[in-house]
Amino acid sequence: MNRQILIPAVAGDGTLYPVEKLDAHVRGLLHLAVSVFVFDADYLLVQRRAAGKYHCGGLWANTCCSHPHWDESVEACAHRRLEEELGFSVPLQRHATVEYQADVGAGLSEHERVTLFSAEVDRTRQAVVPNPDEVDAVRWIRLEDLHVEVRQTPERFTPWFRIYLERFPALRFS
């Protein structure tokens, strides 16, 4: 069953209104989103998006990212999607909210007001159980190695992840 998911879009006056998720991407509407970054010291947990995702399937991205449902807080969304995509829950620290716009292919675009979250874990003790409907693969990568890979093969990474790495090279937001 293909049910419509309503997410919060941002009107010109800053108020929020519900919009269907795919419509937001077709029309390039500014909408709310979350991005989560789970670290173990200088290692970051990254995921390769499932091939069947409606955009950017098969590309590497930060630990987790999504859109809050209409009337869902960004904090609740970040926790929900971490659990749904990677099968675990950890305390998250909320950071800055940033905006970006990017073409994500197939006539779709992301125009997001993103709240950034991070967590610190011990990767040797943190179980990660990817949901195959959402995630094809996960890995821990040193930030230095991540920057090298993105420079050498940017096409393997989502546009938003490349934007975050450019704006915040250390991926530390506080």
Q: Set out the domains of the chain in order of their start, with CATH numbers.
A: 6-167 (3.90.79.10)
3-state DSSP helix/strand/coil % of the chain, to nearest 5: 25, 40, 35
Find out whether 25 is annotated in a ligand binding site.
Answer: yes
Residues that are catalytic: 65, 112
67 marked among binding-site residues? yes
Q: Burial-class residue 163 by CB neighbours within 10 Å (0-12, 13-18, 19+).
A: middle
79 marked as binding residue: no
Report yes or no: 28 and 101 within 8 Å, Cβ to Cβ: yes
Beta bridge partners of 18: 8
Binding residue per annotation — 110? yes
pTM of the model: 0.95
pLDDT by residue for the chain (174 residues), tens only, comes to 356 899 999 999 999 999 999 999 999 999 999 999 999 999 999 999 999 888 888 999 999 999 999 999 999 999 999 999 999 999 999 999 999 999 888 889 999 999 999 999 999 999 999 999 999 999 999 999 999 999 999 999 999 999 999 999 999 886
